[in-house]
Structure 1
Amino acid sequence: MAESLAMQDTAAPDLPPTDRKLGLSAAEAQRRLARFGANAIADKPTPAWKLLAAKFWAPVPWMLEAVIVLQLLLGRRLEALVIAALLVFNAVVAFVQEQRAKDALALLRKQLHVTARVLRDGRWQPIPAEQVVPGDIVHVRAGDLVPADLLLFDGAVALDQAALTGESLPVDAGPGKPAYTGAIVRQGEAGGEVTATGARTFFGRTAELVRTSNAPSHMQRTIFAIVERLVIFDAALVVLVLAYALLHHLALPDTAVFALMLLVASVPVALPATYTLATAVSSLQLAHRGVLVTRLPAVEEAASMDTLVSDKTGTLTQNALTLAGAIALAAGSDENAVLRAASLASDDATQDPLDLAILGPARERGLLADAPQRQAFHPFDPSTRRSEGVYTVNEQAWHAVKGASTVIGPLCRLDAAQQAALDAAERRLAADGARVLAVAAGPADALQLLGVVGLSDPPRPDAAALIAQLTQLGVRVCMATGDAQETARAIGARLGLGTRVCVAQGAAAQNPEDCDLYARVLPEDKHAIVRALQQAGHVTGMTGDGVNDAPALRQAELGIAVASATDVAKAAAGVVLTDPGLGGVLTVVRAGREVHRRMLTYTLNKTLKTFEITVFLTLGLWLTGGFVISPMLIVLLLFANDFVTMSIATDRVRPAPKPQRWAVRRLVGAAAVLGALSLLFSFSAYWWIRGTQDLGAQQMQTVVFLLLVFTNQASIYVLRTDGRLWSFAPGRWMALASAGDVTLVSLLATLGWLMAPVPPALVAGLLASCAVFALALDATKHLAFRRFAIV
């Protein structure tokens, strides 16, 4: 398609041509940046008033607004005013919390940007893609996202434009051809001049690094599944309430208000703000510890990861290749001859670590002093798994080739004896963990195997300890490498990964539990490994750095782009590490389990309280023949409880020692058991006070309000930790929110604001009895958690 598309007119035809050897000057670049603006599509932020107004346009606000209308029709203006004030307060709190989360995400996005190599003042330099201007000279190579619309003038690249045009095959582009913003450079290198930026680009958008997925996470799906069950349960109670009201001739408007309140009680009003705040705050903390989050659900997915497939070079090893040795296999050849041929199949310009590790020792030994004239060079390509230099020797083309033994061997047409010698030499070097390359030279149609070279990349000093720590957390670490099986086995043994080596094809791909190490892995094999693990029921993490790793990073529940990753890999991953090694993975696993623990507390508490409140109010109606709480107090109750539950998002927690999975039935079962105990306590306290205290109907409504607020406090502190409720102090914000909530509702009840007053001694007695109840609930928690395998 790119061939048929006419190149868009330059953004500014009046711009003079740029000197391709010097590029733009810094001053000229600044002038053009001021003229054309940043190389980005300007966001069109929604006005704050619209975001705030949206808080009043949803199912829960609709029900509350209906209650306000009904209260006005019944002449209860004060109740309607209070409910309206609480509705506004809740909307403002949710709006403020979401803005806080958005601010945290904005900080992350500033750290996650595409870079561009630009020639300015005669010097190549990396700059943020947003600062590229028309007329800039830009260089792109494999693994890059094209930062702006370019007209290429040298080099050749294969461009993947699937995201732009839908074409599945890469498009070749060279001098005189366009390269459009957002295309992925699959192969090659090229230079080009920027013709358009920002909104003026051909496709009207820039390449975004942070591609946030709109799909809900496992946690969100689980919570909404629980909410769905709660709504169905409450709807059944509403039917019973309506039936009772009809049979006993209760006022229809009052019954409608009560029924609406029951439904409101089952909806987690604070869920969106709590979830977004919990993940955003955790993401911001991770950024300060060297882990950048590109998709918020990735934080929570890290909690359930039980298998991590890690690449070797630079992650488990130091990415500091050194020559481990060479073995000559051809008659008349020696170690220096093998090393010389290998160096002639290498090039400094590629900056390939393999090439640099070979060229250094070759130059030190003076093996390149009389190097022949080079005609061409073909750098290493993952598809061919070899590199090749073409030279002129005796006025004929002479080739020096190095690469995987499985590739070089067939090129040399080895007989059985030669193949056996090659295999033995490879095993000898690989036994110590060296990466082995076969070396051949000669005419293209008569290549001769000269020998093999071994390159050693020692493990990172911290790798074994980090793997052990991940294992203790229940995460099995596997290694995927392009090295031979012997090399993989030696590295795996040194790192404590195991020694079971597999290949990514065939039976091994179907039985991933039998594999500790994957050898001779091609980039496209990583996707198959991830799929095999997922089909076996594992929640999988995958590390990667190259453009070909992107499918596997996207497929994995937790795609991890390592510190040296290309922009494409970073765009596909859920998290990006800024420091080498696996330390960042350990950090994100612990952070994910902390988020999981917070949301587990929220979910269990919401389910428990919904069960308690709705059943209490329904049974209260049946047993007393009247409504045991007013609609205004129900609304006040829900907001008072949400005020505390939202603080769960920043609470101090202990991460679980093993991977966590969400299971709806187990969560609902445990919450139902604990909710039944809480309901029993609330009813017992209610009937005891009703029978022993001389209180009016409205005062008893105040008692119900206090009971349901105080038991909510008790359940939160019981559920926030797996141990005893006093064993782990809460976070500062939760403690402050809890203290403020208890103080406020106690004052309202004793002073008679918004409710009928009750004696201070009664309030204190209720608070003390709820504290004792918390101890009983805490003891039951251990039995329920064990029975339903919650942690």
Structure 2
Amino acid sequence: MTAVPKVRTAPVRQASDLPPTDHTQGLTRLEAAQRLQRFGPNVIADKPVPAWRQLLVKFWAPVPWMLEAVIVLQVLLGRVTESIVIAALLVFNALVAFAQEQRAKDALTLLRKQLHVNARVLRDGRWQVLAAEQVVPGDIVHVRAGDIVPADLALFDGAVSLDQAALTGESLPVDAGSGKPAWTGSIVRQGEASGSVTATGAHTFFGRTAELVRNSNAPSHMQRTIFAIVKRLVIFDAGLVVLVVAFALWHHLPLADTTIFALMLLVASVPVALPATYTLATAVSSLQLARQGVLVTRLPAVEEAAAMDTLVSDKTGTLTQNTLTLAGVTPLAAGSDANAVLRAAALASDEATQDPLDLAVLTPARAQALLKDAPQRQAFHPFDPATRRSEGVYTVDAQLWRAVKGAANVIGPLCKLDATQQSMLNAAEKTLAARGARVLAVAAGPADALQLLGVIGLSDPPRPDAANLIQQLTQLGVRVHMATGDALETARAIGVQLGMGTRVCEARGESLQHPENCDLFARVLPEDKHAIVQAMQRSGHVTGMTGDGVNDAPALRQAELGIAVASATDVAKAAAGVVLTAPGLGGVLTVVRRGREVHRRMLTYTLNKVLRTLVIVVFLTFGVLLTGQFVISPLLIVLMLFANDFATMSIATDRVLPAARPQRWQVGRLMGAAGLLAMLSLLASLLIYLWARALGLSAVQLQTVVFLILVFTNQTGIYVLRNDAPMWRLAPSRWMAAASLGDIVIVSLLAGFGILMAALPWVVVGGVLLASVVFALLLDLIKRPLFTRFHIA
């Protein structure tokens, strides 16, 4: 029984004043257009958050709080100019982050428009597939297993099992048939039915349409890794802050200045630009993927594709052409012939299902006129993954007579075969399967006396590009396994043709203990796919999974990268991380490469963040301990952090080379490599500082020198870390080059003209820049063996 929230009142019935629709003709195009104008699209408009509120959020977080505290302290100390500048930089930084997030959101909005829920609608007497937004009250809609109900329906034909858990909290499926409602957002688990639309959009019973594209709020592996690193940095910096505070108290340094300095050290540890950089990097890649036929439903899926080392692929339509043709018929019953077997198989099929198996049987049966004298059909049960058979019920000689087709290991027991008959069935199945055909057993007769008539083989040849794509994925370190419901012999034959191997397993028992020993999985039920994915993950593999049906949804959600193929149902698309718009594995190859590009960009960001944080906090801390004074002002720290973040955000669009192998985040290796590079960078920064000090510059001028050192070495360091090859091997993106050039020019002008800081001779500004470039070239030589040692791809 359907569970209905107690507080919900009866909905406004949109169709209550509309004339009934002819169930055989549906609405006309004109009537549909008029109702669309009257009732509006079948969508629930999102309540947008005002832009001013989104902007204010940028000032309500730990880092802005610290900067706001610094502003207050500066005002209390009478440093109005400094407080105004810091406030202006805080506002500007918030505006930049806001603009980048809006850019990413706009990209996602365009992307989401390509991910529609479709509906089968009867218009002008013809069934057609329309976007669910175009459905109007009074439309005649047909739903079947794998669909999400696009609007509130009053069913008048057929029967379905509906999953309404997301709407009512009721975990058990609800059966619905003629005279029953089907609410918007319900998932059709089994069966088929037609109904008339009673309400759309905001007027539906539950007040909303199904939300198919769910952006997961759970952090990805990359986000968790970066935040784990940042946590370590904050702990390290907190220790240094305690040291600085203790030193300041011991030497009676001004308490307010010490507090400001301590806050600035903590601010330096926090990746202020991380959310905007990550969102921008993944959103830009998602738009590029959309142009190449891959629609991203969850942004973290782009980055997860970089780590995928195992892909479990469906066979039909992904590795094969999904164009089934009759490959052979083997009669097994006495007095039966090929025509009798094919006729019975056709009577166990229905064109209305549009099932490729049924169409492949019906086409040759009709061509041979085998259905001209077909008996009257009483009922039809379409193929169900749970039973693995389809069945037509007819009246023959005033008795119920059944025609059944399905998997041989399902049909055989229904016919109560003896040992000889079972042996014949096994031999016939093996012969056809060895040629790569999908084998179906066919039986017919009274309900209590089914007789095995024979087997038919249906051929679905491999896609011409499948073997090459599998080879390319293998070269990228992604091993492709096939999962199919076919017999072992059929799976092996396809595996040989595609170069996937010959080790065939069933998804149970010992095979799931060591799934890497299986090239191909045969006789796979839909629920087995989830078990295969879990087995791969238990074995330490980052797993991708392709699927198309409603029963594939758990496996698609379980996999790190769920991939809904071009022919997938709405439920499968909702569960997947990416949706392919073209058949085959070409889209998977594309998303793997794009994912590794995103990983490379965020790897550069992470390495640079760790390195710069260690350099900044250690340099500034030991500057206080060795000189007894603060070697840089709070204003210059804020300017430095802003300049550095502006440059690092440009990494999101950098031109990179994707890695040749799957990429995983290793915190220990990243920290080790960045730590050693930071030690070298610290040494170089100290040498530049000592050179400037030897020139006889004043204390405030030396603060400007420290500011230039920390900005220029950050700029050059990004180019060192952005690839494994020599830094000049790959040109940066135009935006990154512009950001770097702009940073260097503006910072140099500020230092040379003494704006917001003590002026420096131009020769000193140029000397610091030149020294930073020379150091970067030396660091680039050291980087390559260091990356190899720590396995940084």
Fold equivalence (TM over 0.5):
yes
Pair 1:23-2:23 in alignment: no
Change (3 A) 1:766 1:3: closer
How far apart in 2 are the matches of 1:679 and 1:320? 64
How far apart in 2 are the matches of 1:111 and 1:623? 60
Which of 669, 675, 682 in structure 2 is aligned with 1:679? Answer: 682
Most deviating of 716-725 and 152-161? 152-161
1:114 touches 1:208 (CA, 8 Å); kept in 2? no
Pair 1:670-2:663 in alignment: no
By how many angstroms is 1:338 displaced?
1.9
User: In structure 1, what is the equivalent of residue 700 of structure 2?
Assistant: 698
User: In structure 2, what is the equivalent of residue 313 of structure 1?
Assistant: 316
Which of 481, 485, 488 in structure 1 is aligned with 2:484? Answer: 481
User: In structure 2, what is the equivalent of residue 105 of structure 1?
Assistant: 108
- Superposition pairs of residues 339-488 of structure 1, within 5 angstroms: 339-488=342-491
How far apart in 1 are the matches of 2:133 and 2:329? 48
User: In structure 2, what is the equivalent of residue 640 of structure 1?
Assistant: 643
2:146 touches 2:188 (CA, 8 Å); kept in 1? yes
Pair 1:718-2:720 in alignment: yes
How far apart in 1 are the matches of 2:400 and 2:329? 25
**Root mean square deviation, CA, Å:** 1.5
How far apart in 2 are the matches of 1:33 and 1:346? 37
Change (3 A) 1:21 1:368: closer
1:9 touches 1:195 (CA, 8 Å); kept in 2? no
Change (3 A) 1:440 1:544: same
By how many angstroms is 1:8 displaced?
4.1
How far apart in 2 are the matches of 1:16 and 1:338? 48
- Superposition pairs of residues 525-604 of structure 1, within 5 angstroms: 525-604=528-607
By how many angstroms is 1:689 displaced?
1.7
Question: Where does the alignment leave 5 or more consecutive residues of structure 1 unmatched?
Answer: none
1:7 touches 1:178 (CA, 8 Å); kept in 2? no
Amino acid corresponding to residue 511 of structure 1 in structure 2? H
How far apart in 1 are the matches of 2:109 and 2:338? 56
How far apart in 1 are the matches of 2:434 and 2:196? 50
Amino acid corresponding to residue 350 of structure 1 in structure 2? T
Change (3 A) 1:399 1:175: closer
User: In structure 1, what is the equivalent of residue 788 of structure 2?
Assistant: 786
Which of 265, 274, 277 in structure 2 is aligned with 1:274? Answer: 277
User: In structure 2, what is the equivalent of residue 736 of structure 1?
Assistant: 738
By how many angstroms is 1:781 displaced?
1.3
Amino acid corresponding to residue 749 of structure 1 in structure 2? A
User: In structure 2, what is the equivalent of residue 206 of structure 1?
Assistant: 209
Which of 75, 78, 83 in structure 2 is aligned with 1:80? Answer: 83
How far apart in 1 are the matches of 2:364 and 2:33? 45
By how many angstroms is 1:696 displaced?
0.7
By how many angstroms is 1:9 displaced?
4.9
Pair 1:255-2:258 in alignment: yes
User: In structure 1, what is the equivalent of residue 2 of structure 2?
Assistant: 2
CA deviations over 1:658-678 (Å, ceiling 9, x no partner): 111111111111111111110
Q: Secondary structure at the match of 1:46?
A: coil
User: In structure 2, what is the equivalent of residue 707 of structure 1?
Assistant: 709
1:143 touches 1:567 (CA, 8 Å); kept in 2? yes
2:654 touches 2:732 (CA, 8 Å); kept in 1? yes
By how many angstroms is 1:451 displaced?
1.4
How far apart in 2 are the matches of 1:24 and 1:583? 40
How far apart in 2 are the matches of 1:137 and 1:12? 12
Most deviating of 199-208 and 247-256? 199-208
2:12 touches 2:203 (CA, 8 Å); kept in 1? no
How far apart in 1 are the matches of 2:762 and 2:363? 84
Pair 1:241-2:244 in alignment: yes
How far apart in 2 are the matches of 1:3 and 1:371? 44
How far apart in 2 are the matches of 1:255 and 1:158? 68
Most deviating of 237-246 and 661-670? 661-670
2:234 touches 2:266 (CA, 8 Å); kept in 1? yes
By how many angstroms is 1:475 displaced?
0.4
User: In structure 1, what is the equivalent of residue 763 of structure 2?
Assistant: 761
Most deviating of 73-82 and 565-574? 73-82
2:488 touches 2:504 (CA, 8 Å); kept in 1? yes
By how many angstroms is 1:509 displaced?
1.4
Change (3 A) 1:677 1:141: same
By how many angstroms is 1:600 displaced?
0.4
How far apart in 2 are the matches of 1:137 and 1:321? 31
Which of 318, 325, 328 in structure 2 is aligned with 1:325? Answer: 328
Most deviating of 24-33 and 165-174? 24-33
By how many angstroms is 1:4 displaced?
7.4
User: In structure 1, what is the equivalent of residue 628 of structure 2?
Assistant: 625
By how many angstroms is 1:166 displaced?
2.1
Count of aligned positions: 790
- Superposition pairs of residues 164-243 of structure 1, within 5 angstroms: 164-243=167-246
How far apart in 2 are the matches of 1:116 and 1:226? 47
Amino acid corresponding to residue 439 of structure 2 in structure 1? V
Change (3 A) 1:9 1:50: closer
Change (3 A) 1:472 1:309: same
Change (3 A) 1:375 1:33: closer
Change (3 A) 1:769 1:434: same
Q: Secondary structure at the match of 1:262?
A: helix
1:375 touches 1:391 (CA, 8 Å); kept in 2? yes
Most deviating of 584-593 and 39-48? 39-48
By how many angstroms is 1:40 displaced?
2.1
Aligned residues with identical type, % of pairs: 77
Most deviating of 389-398 and 220-229? 389-398
1:114 touches 1:128 (CA, 8 Å); kept in 2? yes
Question: Where does the alignment leave 5 or more consecutive residues of structure 2 unmatched?
Answer: none
User: In structure 2, what is the equivalent of residue 727 of structure 1?
Assistant: 729
Q: Secondary structure at the match of 1:138?
A: strand
By how many angstroms is 1:365 displaced?
2.7
